[in-house]
Amino acid sequence: MTDIYWHESALRHVTPPGHPERVARAEAVHAALSELEGLEWHDAPRAPRAEVERCHPARYFDRIKAAIPESSFVALDADTHVSPGSLDAALHAVGGCTAAVDAVIAGETRTAFVAMRPPGHHAETETAMGFCLFGTAAIAAKRALDEHDLSRVAVLDFDVHHGNGTQDLLWNEERTLFASSHQMPLYPGTGAAHETGAHDNVLNAPLAPMTGSADMRRAWGDIILPALDDFAPELVIMSAGFDAHASDPLANLNWTEEDFGWVTAAICEVAEAHAGGRVVSTLEGGYDLDALAASAAAHVIALREHEG
């Protein structure tokens, strides 16, 4: 069975009316996955601050904690808001990812999906941005390396926006490969092919606006998946954003839910060859609720089929 990590704190990170990263996203994903069989549901535990500090300095954690209001909202930047439940939700998202890492490495499952929000891949070392507070996927990778003595962990990101935060957090980490496909030009403006990390450990495959399945499958099939195979990861972590869908309002790629299933299955094949099939995935973007629900379901179905 594929493990699903969920906690109702995802519903208590409330953003201002009209904000695209809203409570309804978590509700839509939860409802879609609840219709599927062959899943094992777990509570996402609340991570201690020490987990966050694998990637972010203590002063940054303190700054986020101090910004949490007693009521209403506080804007950390033009896009990123916090409310009374935001820190708790973010810590449960981190805790879900680290618990999933522990579970797959212990052999309790081979695949896990963390259906939590807020997302994480835009959070840089000391900067909250792009709806994100903490670099969830990068923190999970660091836990795998430092607590489980792995030597090669891959973080793969197919969100439509470049994972600048994950790239920043792992830029100097030679034990990781961070690889991303994303629309370019688009927020946050990073992710050019020449951005390759301090140890040639970053791989970016930008995609032109209005392209769809064929261009995506070429980028992954010809560039990212061969590099992943060469890297031979012992664990694969996915930043699973579903905003490359043709219906998404924040970008201009033309993926379908079948494309998310395809890329998930293709990544799992490489994980099977090198990592004992060990894959952890965490929810990032996706802002059309119907497309998000259908795409997340396609993604988890592919994980479940890989689980066997």
CA angle 141, 9, 181 (to 5 degrees): 40
Active site residue 306: no
Do residues 82 and 69 touch, judged by C-beta distance below 8 A? yes
Q: Which of 122, 161, 162, 274 is catalytic?
A: 122
- Give how far Cα 75 sits from Cα of 10, 15, 79, 296, Å: 18, 10, 7, 28
Query: In DSSP terms, which residues pair with 154 in a beta bridge?
Result: 177, 236
Residue labelled with tokens 């094949």: 269
Residues 6+ apart with CB under 8 A from 25: 117, 286, 287, 289, 292
Report the distance separating Cα 148 and Cα 36, nearest Å.
Answer: 31
Residues 6+ apart with CB under 8 A from 133: 64, 80, 82, 86, 87, 90, 118, 120, 123
Query: In DSSP terms, which residues pair with 237 in a beta bridge?
Result: 155, 280
Report the distance separating Cα 109 and Cα 2, nearest Å.
Answer: 7
- Give how far Cα 246 sits from Cα of 183, 187, 197, 243, 256, Å: 12, 17, 30, 8, 7
Residue labelled with tokens 């990592």: 275
CA angle 130, 133, 134 (to 5 degrees): 120
Residue labelled with tokens 């966050």: 52
Quote the tokens at residue 7: 């906690």
b/e map of 262-273 (b: 16 or more CB within 10 Å)? bbbbbbbebbbe
Report the distance separating Cα 14 and Cα 106, nearest Å.
Answer: 34
Give catalytic residue positions: 122
